[in-house]
Chains A and B, each alone.
Chain A
Amino acid sequence: MRTILEIKSLTMDFGGLRALDHVDMDINEGEIVALIGPNGAGKTTFFNCITGIYAPTEGDMIISRPGKKKTRINGLKPNLVTEKGLARTFQNIRLFANMTVLENVMIGRHCRCSSGILGAVFRNRATVKEEQKVVEDSYMILEKIGLSEYVNEVAMNLPYGAQRRLEIARAMATEPFVLLLDEPAAGMNPQETRELDDLIVRLRDDEKVSILLIEHDMKLVMSLSDRIFVMDYGKKIAQGTPDEIKNNPAVIKAYLGEETDA
């Protein structure tokens, strides 16, 4: 299996606070990898570093998109990271609430377009054609993710589960090869969580994206993941298959605390 995302010794300091402490991680092609840990462990900071929202203090982040050369993505701006093929969703829903479902997806699609501002102003034939393609592609993505019934609804009027899926649809519109999901099941009921489980597996199998997810729903994590990384206080404390993690003393300690004699 090929490694497609390699994080080496990633460190992030906020003033005197070390939020990430030399974290190593790798994701292989076609894998679903979960990142778990107690609150405040640095999981979201880790995502923010990878996607360019923060510039890490130290460390290397290397991607190798299938069929392309290895590239470092340290210090790239978020929009360039997205162009390189990493897309993400957020813990709290961050859709463009006043825009329609279709528009939300189209925006994600636009970064794969070549026509520039002049095209938008003068509407030459290539631009018009490309715009049509964007609309078609967007419809297709919405259909795959099961949102076709909402195409022209304004995003904020969607039911909660559908909003979560729309976030994934918008991320998928940028044609990522790694999809980073930050607590995708947060606030979902068991039925919605099961659907999400199916959706994530389908994305991996049909769309050939590898998935890195942060999640607190252990049932979902254990059933989905090929491998699990565990973080606590900014450090990676364990990694392995779901079974290995379940029985790892360091993980149990981080979640439940240490037994003390007294």
Chain B
Amino acid sequence: MEYFLELFLGGLTRGSIYALIALGYTMVYGIIQLINFAHGEIYMIGAFTGLIVISVLTLLGWNQIAILVIASVAAVIYSCAYGFTIEKMAYKPLRHAPRLSALISAIGMSLFLQNYVLLAQTSDFLPFPCLVPDFEFWEPYSHIITSPELVIIIATTIVMILLTFLIKFTKIGKAMRATAQDRDMAMLVGVDVNKVISFTFIIGSATAALGGVLIASHIGMVNFYIGFIAGIKAFVAAVLGGIGSIPGAVVGSLVLGWTESFFTGYISSDYEDVFAFLFLVFILIFRPQGILGRSETEKV
């Protein structure tokens, strides 16, 4: 039973991580029907920014938790700037082009950013310090779930709640939903669609960057290539849940996290990715619109 609980919480942690990245995919898709393949790179850039800030502040001898908070904030801000710029450079000029053009532009952006970090930093795996201390009060439970994992789950939950509030109740949230449903109509009732799209990229980048710092700190290393596999997994999660749907992204991420966790725990850890993608294949066969997605009828 305890082993089950351990796997369950492990899956929850993984799922939370995927959710932080998947949100960006699904929100961008919801608004401009684009799979933003450069999204995983935003996550990677977030992790690198975090590492740089952490290295500097550690040299200065700051308190660990303060470093983690500052590094996260810096990573979020820096990545938001990237997300904003990527949209303006690579997608906005293609707003009225066929969807495939923007998709290819996204793949190009992804390759560019990977190689840019490879050249600017290094191709080696760099160690990423774990800055979450082992909380004393958590000691009795730490054999089931460690403090860093706990922090990831809590941070994700807070982000989800804030995001739900933002989307449901604020002006910009309403504008986002309106734009997702009918972009032309949104413009006609006075919504500045360009602003909404930029904002969506910024929010998506922020959650991905936060994920980058938390995950790198959990796994303990970064490399220019980490964005690729994380991006693909989060993309799978978003599709699983129904791309375009925000609750769907969260549900899909958790389902994916648990699938991986239980299969690796009970069967074999060698096939972790195989299970994840096998699951995707079955979902796509039996429920192509995803778990919470609605089947789309093509508008004429």
Contacts and interface: CB of A to CB of B under 8 A. Distances in A.
Interface of A: 51-53, 77-79, 82-83, 87-88, 90, 94, 96-99, 103, 106-108, 110-113, 115, 117, 120-121, 131, 134, 170-171, 173-174
B184 interface: yes
Contact of B166 (A53, A115, A120): A120
19 contacts: A78-B184, A79-B188, A82-B189, A94-B185, A96-B181, A99-B174, A103-B174, A107-B175, A107-B189, A107-B191, A111-B190, A115-B171, A117-B172, A117-B195, A120-B172, A120-B173, A121-B166, A121-B170, A173-B189
Interface of B: 166, 170-175, 177-178, 181-182, 184-193, 195, 199
Contacts of A88: 188
B188 A107 contact: no
**6 pairs of A and B residues whose beta carbons are closest in the complex:** A111-B190, A78-B187, A82-B190, A120-B170, A108-B189, A79-B187
B178 A120 contact: no
B189 A171 contact: yes
Contacts of A96: 177-178, 181-182, 185-186
> For B175, B178, B189, B191, which residue has the most chain A Cβ atoms within 10 angstroms?
B189
A212 to B, nearest CB: 15
Contacts of A131: 171
Contacts of B182: 94, 96
A230 B93 CA distance: 39
Contacts of B189: 82, 87, 107-108, 111, 170-171, 173-174
Contacts of A97: 181
B95 to A, nearest CB: 12
A82 B188 contact: yes
B168 to A, nearest CB: 9
A97 B235 CA distance: 27
A110 B177 contact: no
B166 A79 contact: no
A174 B171 contact: no
Contacts of A83: 190
Nearest to A88: B188
B185 A113 contact: no
Contacts of A51: 188
Contact of B199 (A107, A117, A170, A171): A117
Contacts of A174: 189-190
Contacts of A115: 171
B166 A99 contact: no
A110 B190 contact: yes
B138 to A, nearest CB: 31
A99 B170 contact: no
Given A94-B185, A117-B199, A120-B170, A79 B178 contact: no
A53 B187 CA distance: 9
A111 B189 CA distance: 8
A183 B108 CA distance: 46
Given A96-B181, A117-B199, A79 B192 contact: yes
Nearest to B189: A108
A164 to B, nearest CB: 15
A83 B187 CA distance: 10
A113 B174 contact: no
Contacts of A78: 184, 187-188
Nearest to B202: A117
Contacts of A110: 171, 174-175, 190-191
B206 to A, nearest CB: 11
B80 to A, nearest CB: 12
Nearest to A83: B190
Contacts of A112: 190
Nearest to B294: A98
Contacts of B178: 96, 99, 107
Contact of A106 (B172, B174, B186, B188): B174
